[in-house]
A and B are shown apart, each in its own frame.
Chain A
């Protein structure tokens, strides 16, 4: 549904995106994560046709991103969603539906359905009077007025309280369940880990890791072994009357067991800890920085 091939963007000599390549399948929730300045937003804007790539190609729903027709099948949600405060949610959404050429009756039904699903009851007050969470919901509803196959959301939960954030993420999952392709970026890696089928990690304009969360964990993460012993061994710390030693492989586990036996102790418990996406992200970013 989305293909990106060597996509690059330079702003007056400064490289924002160095040359990304990835693809997103239909019905997939795809995440782009990375620190500030990684090139996430620029990548999304190039895919939305807002920013002209310096090099490379990208297609969305079968259209080149430079083709205005592409936008008819796209719902875009920017990180900030300053709407027209003097308009009401209904008039605002109707205008955009009109702009997309959606039949008025269909648009009216679709708008109310979206607002119902988003549980936004305030529909005829000026948008300027709404809370940030409500405004974000209006912006999300706007991205759906044309019933697009592809949704590109830049930090959809940015600045929202935890309750609204969970609501928005749940809504994203529902959209994917309905068959829509969702590409979104996030700072909060737990959100991505929780929602996305696949992920790319970007840093300084480069894609530094890609795949499912599990694949990235396998490729870039290191499983930890936490060995609990009845006696202290080298590098162990006391925890609740036991001694915990963290090692990176089974050889390390064996070494701890031998030390404990030599000191008339025993291994009480061994636990494996899989790395989170955030751990991997920090590791990868650190490696990239050192490089």
Chain B
């Protein structure tokens, strides 16, 4: 690949794109940036106030509730007017030691919010006390345990149960009654030491649900909401950029506009790289600006790079497969939703489980939280996406030629064309199978992430069957494509040879899953089930058996599906299902042996 040719095409893509920009597109782009900026600014500033002014509270200045209510933008402070309360203008009325709750859902929600507000206010007040030991007499180090009892992470920090009273009140759920008395009054619980009248109390419910103080029952897994939203800001602009990129690629195919580039000295790879480069540069520039803005470091940007590449690569493939802008829109939206789910859902558990690291967004979250990320963890989070992007680009470039670019075929047939473009021999089959390992890896990790919350007795069998389905598809779909394109002889012997090559390619590529060790994923029960072949048992004989048994399995199942593929679509489907059944049975046996 000639870099100067790539740069020339990249410059041309920019010039051409600039020529296509009209006022409407510029306005739409600026608006998108403004919206993203506003969200980012709000989150970065820590003042996400989507519920500002939600509840109207009548509270007199002489009650201890006035301070908390005034400080919380969720509430609008009004005069404690009984008539206004009864006419429905107020959700809560706090007068003296009594909280009056409007008897509807909003009133009850306002009361719940008041509890949280009071909790935060009390925490802030106590945190400002000069004598912290008195303010927080009990300190708890919080240690999270995995379900099998092994310690995985220490996310603990200081915690204190100030027992600030309030547990002696009557039922204050407000659910049934219109009025709730705050029996605790201004505190005064004998055990709590909150005699300070400045700390209000809402009786009947624990005041503390999270943060630095509360009861053990209030402890919840850490949810890095702010960092997660900020990390998401890295991804949002990509969805806009890939739309422009996909349209640009498809425009080359519509009306055969790209034909003249194909007859130039530039290779398809150089053309695609040149066309992609400006969009990649824009994505990275936005990522850098976002990082500077929200306080991310180079690690955040490094984690975003493979995300950008996968977005571009999958959009490129979609644009190469789509027959129209309508079809492209459907494909790109599907890709955006799928990729965003893959990135976002695991990242929610960044502070809980190492499974979260399957998403590079978890690396961004950790970076934004100021936590260190080991090189192995970075590799674990990003390498599958880097490899997936490379494979997707290679598949797309395979059909970036006159004979495929301008033909109108359904997406699934285009996909088969793309696979077949990379297959000329059994060796090619093995190479493509090995190249599909990153997709298998990503798919299996996603399955783990999606299933890990279910009970193990349900999850593990389900996972083992699903993994078999994914792996058998990766071993056979391109073989089927090869037969559709008459790449191989249709004799049983030739099919078995092609299948064996695919099985061998998978066996060798599968060793990539050893990367899972980098984050100790196999130590989780689900990880152990998913990556059994790399977590060998202690018995030497069994270890040898488990080392070579996968090779035999992959060769047999891939040979079976190859024979089916050589006989047509229906036979392929039937042999595929048989291979999945055999593979799933093998998985269950191996897991039971290891267990």
Which A residues from 5 to 52 make CB contacts under 8 A with B?
A: 11, 45, 48-52
In angstroms, Cα B9 to Cα A152, docked, is 24
Does B19 lie within 8 Å of A87, measured CB to CB?
yes
Does B403 lie within 8 Å of A52, measured CB to CB?
yes
Interchain nearest-CB distance for A124 vs B (Å): 12
A76: interface (CB < 8 Å)? yes
In angstroms, Cα B7 to Cα A95, docked, is 12
Does B263 lie within 8 Å of A50, measured CB to CB?
yes
A221: interface (CB < 8 Å)? no
Q: Give how many A-B residue pairs fall within 8 Å (CB-CB).
A: 65
B265: interface (CB < 8 Å)? yes
Chain A residues positioned under 8 Å from B16 (CB to CB): 84, 86-87
Interchain nearest-CB distance for A144 vs B (Å): 13
Main secondary structure of the interface of B (DSSP, over half): helix
Chain A residues positioned under 8 Å from B261 (CB to CB): 99
Does A95 lie within 8 Å of B15, measured CB to CB?
yes
Does B259 lie within 8 Å of A50, measured CB to CB?
yes
Chain A residues positioned under 8 Å from B8 (CB to CB): 95, 98-99
Interchain nearest-CB distance for B219 vs A (Å): 59
In angstroms, Cα B259 to Cα A51, docked, is 11
Closest B residue to A82 by beta carbon equals: B255
B402: interface (CB < 8 Å)? yes
Interchain nearest-CB distance for A262 vs B (Å): 66
Does B263 lie within 8 Å of A74, measured CB to CB?
yes
B20: interface (CB < 8 Å)? yes
A142: interface (CB < 8 Å)? yes
Closest B residue to A139 by beta carbon equals: B260
Does A45 lie within 8 Å of B264, measured CB to CB?
no
B260 is contacted by which of A78, A98, A126 (Cβ under 8 Å)? A78
In angstroms, Cα B378 to Cα A272, docked, is 87
- Given A52-B403, A91-B15, A76 contacting B255 (CB threshold 8 A): no
Closest B residue to A70 by beta carbon equals: B265
- Given A86-B16, A99-B8, A71 contacting B263 (CB threshold 8 A): yes
In angstroms, Cα B257 to Cα A78, docked, is 10
In angstroms, Cα B401 to Cα A91, docked, is 25
Chain A residues positioned under 8 Å from B264 (CB to CB): 71, 96, 99-100
A226: interface (CB < 8 Å)? no
Does B259 lie within 8 Å of A78, measured CB to CB?
yes
Which B residues from 238 to 282 make CB contacts under 8 A with A?
A: 255-257, 259-267
In angstroms, Cα B266 to Cα A87, docked, is 20
Does B9 lie within 8 Å of A99, measured CB to CB?
yes
- Given A52-B403, A82-B255, A83-B257, A101 contacting B265 (CB threshold 8 A): yes
Does A126 lie within 8 Å of B19, measured CB to CB?
yes
Interchain nearest-CB distance for B254 vs A (Å): 8
Interface size of A in residues (CB-CB distance below 8 Å): 30
Which A residues from 73 to 110 make CB contacts under 8 A with B?
A: 74, 76, 78, 80-84, 86-87, 91, 95-96, 98-101
Interface 1/0s, chain B 1-20, versus A by CB < 8 A? 00001001100100110011
Closest A residue to B484 by beta carbon equals: A12
Does B20 lie within 8 Å of A86, measured CB to CB?
yes
Chain B residues positioned under 8 Å from A173 (CB to CB): none
Does B257 lie within 8 Å of A82, measured CB to CB?
yes
Interface size of B in residues (CB-CB distance below 8 Å): 23
- Given A99-B8, A142-B260, A80 contacting B255 (CB threshold 8 A): yes
Does A100 lie within 8 Å of B265, measured CB to CB?
yes
Interchain nearest-CB distance for A2 vs B (Å): 15
Closest B residue to A98 by beta carbon equals: B8
Closest A residue to B486 by beta carbon equals: A13
Chain B residues positioned under 8 Å from A71 (CB to CB): 263-265
Interface 1/0s, chain B 48-68, versus A by CB < 8 A? 000000000000000000000
Interface 1/0s, chain B 474-493, versus A by CB < 8 A? 00000000000000000000
Interchain nearest-CB distance for A70 vs B (Å): 9
Which B residues from 140 to 177 make CB contacts under 8 A with A?
A: none
Does A76 lie within 8 Å of B263, measured CB to CB?
yes
Chain A residues positioned under 8 Å from B401 (CB to CB): 50, 52
Interface 1/0s, chain A 58-74, versus B by CB < 8 A? 00000000001101101
Chain B residues positioned under 8 Å from A84 (CB to CB): 16, 19, 257
Chain B residues positioned under 8 Å from A83 (CB to CB): 257, 260
Closest A residue to B485 by beta carbon equals: A12
Closest A residue to B264 by beta carbon equals: A99
Which of B8, B15, B260 gathers the greatest number of chain A CB atoms within 10 Å? B260
Interface 1/0s, chain B 396-420, versus A by CB < 8 A? 0000011100000000000000000
In angstroms, Cα B260 to Cα A100, docked, is 12
Closest B residue to A49 by beta carbon equals: B263
In angstroms, Cα B268 to Cα A52, docked, is 14
Interchain nearest-CB distance for B333 vs A (Å): 26
Does B265 lie within 8 Å of A99, measured CB to CB?
yes
In angstroms, Cα B16 to Cα A42, docked, is 30
B19 is contacted by which of A50, A76, A86, A101 (Cβ under 8 Å)? A86
Name 28 A/B residue pairs within 8 A (Cβ), A-sorted: A11-B403, A48-B263, A50-B401, A50-B402, A68-B265, A76-B260, A78-B259, A78-B260, A80-B255, A82-B257, A83-B257, A84-B16, A84-B19, A86-B16, A86-B19, A87-B15, A87-B19, A91-B19, A95-B8, A95-B12, A96-B260, A96-B264, A98-B12, A99-B9, A99-B266, A100-B264, A100-B265, A101-B265
Assuming A74-B263, A78-B256, A99-B261, what are 15 further A-B pairs, CB within 8 angstroms? A11-B403, A48-B263, A49-B263, A50-B402, A76-B263, A78-B260, A80-B255, A82-B257, A87-B15, A95-B8, A95-B15, A96-B264, A99-B5, A99-B8, A101-B265
**Which residues of B are interface residues toward A (Cβ below 8 A)?**
5, 8-9, 12, 15-16, 19-20, 255-257, 259-267, 401-403
